[in-house]
Amino acid sequence: MSNDTKISISDHFTYKKLIKFTLPTIVMMIFTSIYGVVDGIFVSNLVGDEAFAAVNLIMPVLMIPGAVGFMFGTGGSAIVSKTLGENKKDTANRYFSMLICIEIISGIILTVTGLFILEPVTYLLGADKTLAPYCIEYGWIIFIGLVPFILQNSFQSFMITANKPTFGLIVSLASGFSNMILDFLFVYIMKEGVAGAAWASVLSQCVGAFVPLFYFLSNNKSLLRLVKTKFELKPILKACTNGSSEMVTNLSFSVVNMMYNMQLMKYAGKDGVTAYGIIMYVGFIFVGIYLGYSVGTAPLTGYNYGAGNTKELKNLLGKSIRLLAVSAFVLTLLAELSSEFLAGIFVSYDKGLMRMTANAIRIYSMSYLIGWINIYASSFFTALNDGLSSAVISFLRIFLFQISMVLLLPLWLGLNGIWAAIIAAETLSLFVSLTLIIKNRKKYGYGG
């Protein structure tokens, strides 16, 4: 019997059940991050540090359209989970199908727009004649694969809502292994450079998008299925509102990364951009645990909110805080102890750059002690269909606080101020998250 049939989103969750239910999503997030890391390793070690710096320079722009997938995935799954909790399965399937259609249409529009603006944006970011060709070549291919990228991001949430987290993990693993194999083939064997890495990413995303698409089109045994639908404005707007925090998070994250890169070009040149790119690759793995757990528990929160089960909401919140707090301590310690090893994976060929990167990882990793509660709080409010509270946390945390700190701290601390900006931003966000959790405890019943 599979894990999916043993545990239902309507169950009462103990620590063991919570870990067992969320583990596939956590592993999925970690593995997704790892195959992103593999991209970086291949480009850095086989194509060169200039190509690696170029990919990291243009990457924030390429991630912006993917925010659509996160918005409809998280915001839509909150609506669908709540509707399932209200025992309206046909309506839930109709909403689910409508949102997938909107994602495909949005992806096509964003692809055309992205291809049109790619070159001017590349130079606006500060790319010189050496980096710009790499940026444009990589960006064109990634934009061509935008629709599967959006669908893959969305299906990560909907698979959990469908009570099929293990199947979601299998799809993610298949996508990840595809990426690794294709990286080896295109970059190492065929010597296709950044274009090879880009095509490896696009083709692997097709696996993560089209396997779930065909699954939900079939007569499957999950809670969800793609059916004939129509466009309804109210649930669309509700999905956008619910998912606005994830949209804000991803958009803000991209803008913040651009600001980091601009500051790093000023203080450390392309070596600084390379070091920051490595931090991001490493951070995706560590923060992926927080994200995986938060995404994994969101349907549980949404279902129990829809069912009016406030006792279980309180149980989920309390256990989640304790589990994540322990994880934060372990992950921070692990990052601090492994900083030189992690830096060496990417840039062992340049000892000076490796030392800079290891130092940056040690400073940046202190944010893992604090950031978990902000990530979980934002996801928690999204699952409660409170898009405003979630968006406030995300906007302040990612956009306002980080941009302010990355501009101000280097004035006093130089390059180390850029690495420490995230610590200050997460600390300020912590107070916002705690305030909103305490303020809304009676409204949603999880504090009673």
pLDDT tens, position by position, 30-50: 877 776 677 788 888 888 888
Place of tokens 């195959």: 35
pTM above 0.85, yes or no: no
Residue 298 structure tokens: 């969101």
Residue 72 phi, psi dihedral angles, 5° rounding? -75, -30
- Give the rounded percent of residues in the chain with a pLDDT score beyond 70: 96
Indicate the number of domains in the chain. Answer: 1
Domain of residue 48 covers 11-444
First and final CA of the chain: distance in angstroms? 37
CB 146 within 8 A of CB 201: no
pLDDT tens, position by position, 9-29: 778 889 999 998 888 888 878
Instruction: Name the E strands within 1-133.
Output: none
pLDDT at residue 195, rounded to an integer = 93
Tell me whether residue 6 is in a domain: no
pLDDT tens, position by position, 65-110: 777 766 777 777 778 888 888 888 888 899 989 989 988 988 899 8
Looking at mean pLDDT, say which of 89-98, 281-290, 415-424 comes out highest.
Answer: 415-424
Residue 104 structure tokens: 């495909």
Least confident of 21-35, 175-189, 223-237, 417-431: 21-35
Mean pLDDT of 277-284: 86
Tell me whether residue 258 is in a domain: yes
Tell me whether residue 1 is in a domain: no
Mean pLDDT of 293-300: 89
Tell me whether residue 412 is in a domain: yes
CB 414 within 8 A of CB 267: yes
Tell me whether residue 224 is in a domain: yes
pLDDT tens, position by position, 167-208: 888 898 898 889 889 999 999 999 999 999 999 999 999 999
Q: Positive or negative CA dihedral for 125, 130, 131, 137?
A: positive
Q: What is the C-alpha to C-alpha distance for residues 393 and 290, in angstroms, rounded to an integer?
A: 16
Identify the band that residue 3 occupies on the pLDDT scale cut at 50, 70 and 90: very low
Q: How is 174-212 classified by DSSP, letter by letter?
A: HHHHHHHHHHIIIIIIS--HHHHHHHHHHHHHHHHHHHH
Tell me whether residue 4 is in a domain: no
Tell me whether residue 275 is in a domain: yes
Identify the band that residue 382 occupies on the pLDDT scale cut at 50, 70 and 90: confident
Tell me whether residue 29 is in a domain: yes
